[in-house]
Every structure is written in C-alpha cells, then in structure tokens.
Structure 1
Amino acid sequence: MKITGYRSLTTTHDWGRPVGDVNGVVACGITEVPILILETDGGLTGIGLGQHADVDRVFPAVEGKDPRAVTALYDSMLAHVFKSGHAGATYGAIAAVDMALWDLKAKMADEPLWRTLGALDRFVPGYASGLCYGLDDDAFATHYRGWAERGFASAKIKGGKDVARDIERLLAARDILSANTSRPAMMLDVNEAWNAKQAIRHLAEIEKQLDLTWIEEPVRRWDAAGLARISRASRAAVATGENLTGLDQFAPLFDAKAVDVVQTGSVWGITHLLRVAAAAHSRDLPVSPVGYDCNPCAHAAAALPNMIGLEVQDVNWPAGLTVDQQIGDGGIRLGDAPGLGIELDEAALTNATAGGWNSNGGPHKRSRKAGLRLVPDGPLAAE
C-alpha cells in the first residue's frame, strides 16, 4: 500500500463555554479543528489532527511510500525541510502527517493504535482541565463538579494574572474533587505569564495555602535557567515542554535540570511524543501529554512507562467526528476501533465562526498606558 495524496478539511468544536488562558479567551467557545486526510492506493485513509498549513512542503517526503514505515518517514520529513527549519507551522504539518501515518499503520493491522504501540491496558489515567480562565466563579465550580462526577481526583486550573484569584480557584477545585480522594492533585498553569523572580514569590504564597503538585509553564518555554531556579526554590514540580517542537529543543532543559514533569503537545504528533518520553524516561522523569480534540495521543500515552497523567479538556467531540473512547473513572478508556478510533462524517462538518485565541492580548502584549505592572488589580489592570 502506498500514500497517494492528501486532503485538508476543517470543522469546529463547540465547547459550550468560554475557553482560554491568560494569553486570550475565546468568549464564544467555538474553536477551529483542522483535519488532514492521507489517501492511499489501497482505499484506506489516515486521519491527522492539528494545524498543517505547511503540508505542501513536507508531503513530498512521504508521497509514494509505505505508511507502515512511520518513524522513518518522520525523519524523512524532518530531513526534507532541514535547510529552512522544522519549527512552528512546519512542525505542525509534520505532526499531522505523522499522526495520520500511525492511524494508517494500525488500520492496516486491523487493531487500535494503543495495541500497535504495545500498550497492555486500554485505560489512560487523566486529570481534569478545561481551559477555564474565562469562566466566572459559578461556571468554574459547575465545570469541575462535572469532572468530579466522572471520577477525576486531580485538576489543572488556568491562572497567572492574579495570585489571590488563582489560590481561591485552586482551593475551590480541590474541595470539589475531595469527593473522590482525601488529597486531590492540584496543578496551576500560567502559560508563561511570569518571570523567574515573580514565579518564586507567587509560588511561596500559593504553597502556604495548599500542596501544589506542579506549576506549568511559569516562565518562557526557552528559559532553562529560570525554570531551573524555580524548580530549586519551590516544593512544586515544574512542568513544561508542550510548545517545544522537536526533541532537540528539550536538550537545554534536560541539561539544566529545568523540568520535573515533561510535557508534549498532542498537536506535535505521535512519534514526537514517543521520542520525548523515551528521553525523559532515561532521566527518570515523568511525562504528561497535554490535551487536544479527540485525545489522539491517549493511544501513545497508554504505552508509556513514565506517563503520569493525560490532560482531559472536554467530554464532547468536534462536529462530524465520532471517537471510540469513553471518559470516566478519572481517565480515558480507549476502544477497539482500528487506528485512532476516529470516524469522519464529512457531511456533518461545520464551518461555524470560530473565535480567536489571542483576541484579548495577554501578559506579553504591552498595554496602552503601561507595560508590565507592579499591581495586577490596580487602576490600569482593565486596559
């Protein structure tokens, strides 16, 4: 069987609530979901999810090839764009093709991808999330009560602008999840909003109030020295890596002992996750993949010896997609459908107007009257 072509489709995910973080909130709760379809001369198709605007550049590296040679084709795509670099949009395209190749490989074996990757158990432990920064207090509590009803005992909230608000929300979510355990695991994700000194100060204040399991992306993704300082200064683990594209970008963090929980973005593909996880495992570090529509990396997570928990952001699927997995008992139970277990109904795809993630700016965008602020809730805070 050979790869003959591809198609690019788009649908939307209606979250039913505002979603976002300190860098921006999609108030309408509708986001775009790009879909890549890899075609073969045998009639099978593979599905890859994620932005792939640069797919024209990388497709020649896989055209006419046997889709079962996934890891070799991954390296072929990297080599194909060697001179111009693989980061950013190009890596997203490589990842979407890679995900579709793994989908095809498992479909050719007529088995779910988690079995192809060597997992023993179809259940993947998770933690509750939900891009909850834009929710008011009542909606926030309702959201995490829903996770508690599905058996989740750990959660990650979005914060980074107001430490007092972050503490209140961490405590509120902890109390809700206490229905399932006496000691919920609580995480805070500030999406690179702080610098190292701010992070150390804020974490000291937070850790007076509760036992924080990890602080996620406290500073910019490339700040290995800052991340290492934060890790040494706090009890909480430092989690980062979801925005790093390629195993090479993790090397400075590993060398500086700057990361305690290694994260990978689901939109960077299956092979990327497997390689980063192996590198982390060699350093006795746990891995936690971040969430994405349809949880495609849950199949790989099921096969990782050092997987500490998969982020689960929603219980519904994008329009036109049916996914063979169940969310409950504090995690994801993968099904037996071949490949990723994602079925596509092209007639049901939607073109609803999606919101922009960065419409409201963020901590790195200079305001009209000031740049960084000494007092986050002062008279300029709303601008």
Structure 2
Amino acid sequence: MRVTGYRALTTLQRWGRPVGDANGAFADGLVPVPLVLVDTDEGVTGVGLGPHVELDGVFAAIEGEDPRCVTALYDRMLRRTFKAGHAGAVFGTIGALDTALWDIKAQLAGEPLWRLLGGRDRTVTAYASGLDMGLPDDALVEVYRAYAERGVRAAKLKGGLDVDEDRRRLGLVRDVLADASGGARPGLMLDANESWTRKQAVRHVHELERTLDLIWVEEPVRRWDAEGLATVGRGIRASVATGENLTGLEQFRPLLAAGAVDIVQTAAVWGVTHFLRVAALAQAHDLPVSPIGTTPTGLLHAATAVPNHIASELQDLVPPVGLLVDVRVEDGAFVLGDSPGLGIVVDEAAVAAVAAGEGPRPSGPHVRPARAGHRLVPDRTS
C-alpha cells in the first residue's frame, strides 16, 4: 500500500457570533479551517486538519510510502524540513499529514483510532471554551448555558485586559454552571493568550483569587519564557497552563526543566504523534496533559490512550461546514464513536461551496497587538 497524493481544502467554522481573545476578534464569527485529504493506491483516504504551508515539500517525505509507518513517516517529515525550520505553521502541516496517516492506519485495521492506540474508555472529559472575549453578559450566559446543558461543569474564559471585567464574567459563568449542576462548585480557568508581563500576570490573577478559585491560568506570559512562567506559578494559587503554541519536544524541554508548567497543553493542529510524545514527556514529570483546539478529534482519540490526560477543550458544539464527525458530547465528556479511523466524513461539495479563500485576515486573535504587555491601565478595546 502506498500514499499517492493529497487534496488541500479549506472550510469554515461558523460560530454565529464574534469570537476572539485579548489579542483581537473575528467579528463575523467565521474562522477558516484548512484540512488535507491524503489518498492511497487502495482507495483509503485519511483526513487531517491543519495548515497548507510548504505542503508540497512536506508531502514529498511521505509520497510513495506505506501510510501504516506513521511514526517513522512523522520523523521523515521533520528531517525533510529541519534546515528551514519545522516550527510554526510548517509544524502544523506536518501535524495535518500525520493525523491523516493515523486515520488511514486505523481505517485499514477496521477500528476507531482510540481503540487502535490502546484506549479502553471512549469518553474524554471536556471543559467548555467559548472564545468569548467581548461578548455582552446576556450572550455570555447563553453560550455557557448551552455547554452546561451537555453536562459540562468546567469552563475557560478569555480575558486579561481588565481585572474587574474578568472577575464579573467569571462569576457569571460560575453561576450558570453551578445552577445546572444543582449548586456544585464548577471549575474555572482564564486564558490571557500571552497578553501580560510577569508582574502584570501575578497582580491580575492575585486580585481575581481574592474571590474566585481558578484551576489554571493559561499562557499568562510569552510561551517561551520559562523563567517568567515559573515566576507567575510561584506568585499565584492557580496552576499555569501552556504549550498549545509550542512545536516540538525541544520547545517543551526548557519549560519542564524550569518547573514552569503545571498543565501541559498541545494543539490539535500539531498532530497525533506530537501529542503522544508530549504526553509521555509530561508523564515523566508527573504532569497532566490537555489537548487544545476546535474539532480536536485526533487528539481526543489519542487522549484515551495516555494515563495523564486531564481534560480536553470543547469549543464550538457544531463541527466545521462539510464535516460529519462521529463524536457526541454528553454528561460533560466527548464520547467517541465506533467508525473506523477518526470518524470524520468530508462532504467535499459542501466544503467547495464555502467562500473560505479570501486570503489572510488582517486582524483577529492571530495578530498580537502592539501594546500587548505594555498597557499601563485596563484596556477593554484592544
């Protein structure tokens, strides 16, 4: 069996409301979702979600190869890109192809990926994450009520610009989740998306912790700042979570060595093999691991097979346009189905009909503001 080609598509996640974080927002609620379909000479096609950057060059590392050799092909893709660098978006291209190869391998075995990887329980604990920065109070409550109706009892809010605003919004979500669970204390997290300096982070979170119990604070300072993350961790009660924007074990190693991370995260876009390796590294340090991202299907399957998974991020309750995903959410967990592979079916006609190719978006949560980390007073407009 051999890999014969690929097709690069882009669909949309239609949130139906603005989504964003401390860095910016997509006011129209439309988020492009690139995906790659990997074809074989036996008619089996794998699906991977991730960037198309340098796709021709990266694909050359697996073309003509047996797709069942997934981990060896993953390292082959890394070697193919090591001179120019395989971090950032190129690492996402590798992750998309890697996920598609795992999909093929599990389809050939006639098993869902979670079972092929050695998972025993198809349920994966979820927490709600509405990418909710800037929502008015009534909309915020409505969004998290929908999660609560699926049994979700923990939530992560976007914040970091105004401590009073964050305190109020976290309180609203706490009450929504508590009401849905008969008064039980819910779990609360705050994601600052690298918008603070070290001292800003400690001051902001310390103020919140006067009245709120936070499980973790995510990306309080820059992702690579091992000393800064450790400083924040020592100054607050909450755990420090980070890792979704780190690419490769070499980027995690200094943070773990410095004791800078309490919750180790990886993004769905970086692929299944990367997640499994990061999870093993985290386990060696007695740390939990948590997948991040919209439609993190591949990592949900992989999460069933690692001993240190704590919870996975549940973003939109509806999959991207043209994707049918064999996953449901109930009783506060993702429940994986029995479809072979990832359980993702792509309606290529529906995806082709989506106007997702308007080019790079000039603003949004992917663009770091000029004043990030340099705001003297609260700024609700950044």
For normalisation by structure 1, the TM-score amounts to 0.95
Look up the SS of the partner of 1:319 in the other structure: coil
Cα root mean square deviation, aligned: 1.9
Q: Distance in 1 between matches of 2:364 and 2:281?
A: 37
Question: Could you say which residue in structure 1 is the equivalent of 2:105?
Answer: 105
Whether 1:264 and 2:273 are equivalent positions in the alignment is: no
CA distance in 2, matches of 1:257, 1:97: 32
1:230 to 232, 236, 249: 232
Report the counterpart of residue 242 of structure 1 in structure 2: 244
Matched, 1:202 2:204: yes
CA distance in 1, matches of 2:310, 2:361: 28
Amino acid in structure 2 at the alignment position of 1:4: T
- How far apart are residue 58 of structure 1 and its match? 1.1
Q: d(CA) in 1 for partners of 2:14 and 2:89?
A: 24
Q: Does 1:352 align with 2:380?
A: no
Structure 1 window deviating more from structure 2 (14-23 vs 118-127): it is: 14-23
Partner of 1:193: 195
Over 3 Å counting, the alpha-carbon distance change for 1:289 and 1:37 in structure 2 is: same
In the aligned structure 1, how far is the partner of 2:112 from the partner of 2:312? 18
Shift in CA distance, 360/8, structure 1 to aligned 2, threshold 3 Å: closer
> Aligned to 1:366, what secondary structure does the other structure show?
coil
Distance 1:41 1:234, change over 3 A: same
d(CA) in 2 for partners of 1:206 and 1:153?
Answer: 20
SS in 1 for 2:298: coil
Matches within 5 A, 1:301-312: 301-312=303-314
- The one-letter code sitting in structure 1 at the alignment partner of 2:229 is L
1:335 to 2:359 alignment: no
Tell me: CA distance 1:262–1:361, structure 2 relative to 1, closer, same or farther (3 Å).
closer
Letter paired with 2:29: G
List per-residue Cα deviations over 1:307-349 (Å, max 9, x = no partner). Answer: 0000000110111110111112101000000111000111111
Report the counterpart of residue 86 of structure 2 in structure 1: 86
Q: Quote the offset at 1:362 in angstroms.
A: 8.7
Could you tell me how far 1:355 is from its partner in structure 2? Answer: 9.6
Distance 1:356 1:208 in 2: 41
- Partners in 1 of 2:191 and 2:311 — Cα distance? 15
Unpaired segments of 5 or more residues in structure 1? none
Q: TM-score scaled by structure 2?
A: 0.95
Aligned to 1:133: 133
Paired residue secondary structure (1:343): strand
Give aligned-pair identity as a percent: 57
| Pair 382,262 (structure 1): closer, same or farther in 2 beyond 3 Å | closer
Deviation at 1:293, TM superposition (A): 2.6
Which portions of structure 1, spanning 4 or more consecutive aligned residues, are displaced by more than 3 angstroms? 353-358, 360-364
Distance 2:107 2:54 in 1: 25
User: 2:48 aligns to what SS in structure 1?
Assistant: strand
Question: Could you tell me which amino acid in structure 1 is paired with residue 223 of structure 2?
Answer: R
2:328 and 2:5 map into 1 onto residues whose CA distance is: 32
CA contact (8 A) 1:27 1:134 kept: no
What amino acid maps onto 2:167 in structure 1? I
Counterpart amino acid of residue 322 in structure 1: L
Question: 1:147 and 1:364 mapped to 2: Cα distance?
Answer: 29
Q: Which amino acid aligns with 1:101?
A: L
Alpha-carbon distance change, 356 to 149 in structure 1, aligned in 2, over 3 angstroms: farther
Q: Which residue does the alignment assign to 1:150?
A: 150
Partner SS for 1:296 = helix
Aligned-pair distance for 1:253? Answer: 0.2
Contact 1:24 1:357 survives alignment (8 Å): no
Q: Shift in Å at residue 356 of structure 1?
A: 6.7
Could you tell me which residue of structure 2 aligns to residue 298 of structure 1? 300
Report which stretch shifted further, 172-181 or 100-109: 172-181
User: Residues 262, 358 of structure 1: CA spacing in aligned structure 2 closer, same or farther, 3 A cutoff?
Assistant: farther
Is 1:286 paired with 2:288? yes
Deviation at 1:372, TM superposition (A): 2.6
Query: Structure 1 residues 105 and 360, CA, compared in 2 at 3 Å: closer, same or farther?
Result: closer
Within 1, Cα distance between the matches of 2:279 and 2:66? 26
How many residues are aligned here?
A: 378
Summarize deviations over 1:171-213 as a string: whole Å, max 9, x none: 1111111132622110000000001111111111011011110
The structure-2 alpha-carbon separation of the partners of 1:71 and 1:7, relative to structure 1 and needing over 3 Å to count, comes to same
Tell me the distance in 2 between the aligned counterparts of 1:97 and 1:361: 25
Tell me the equivalent position of 1:366. 370
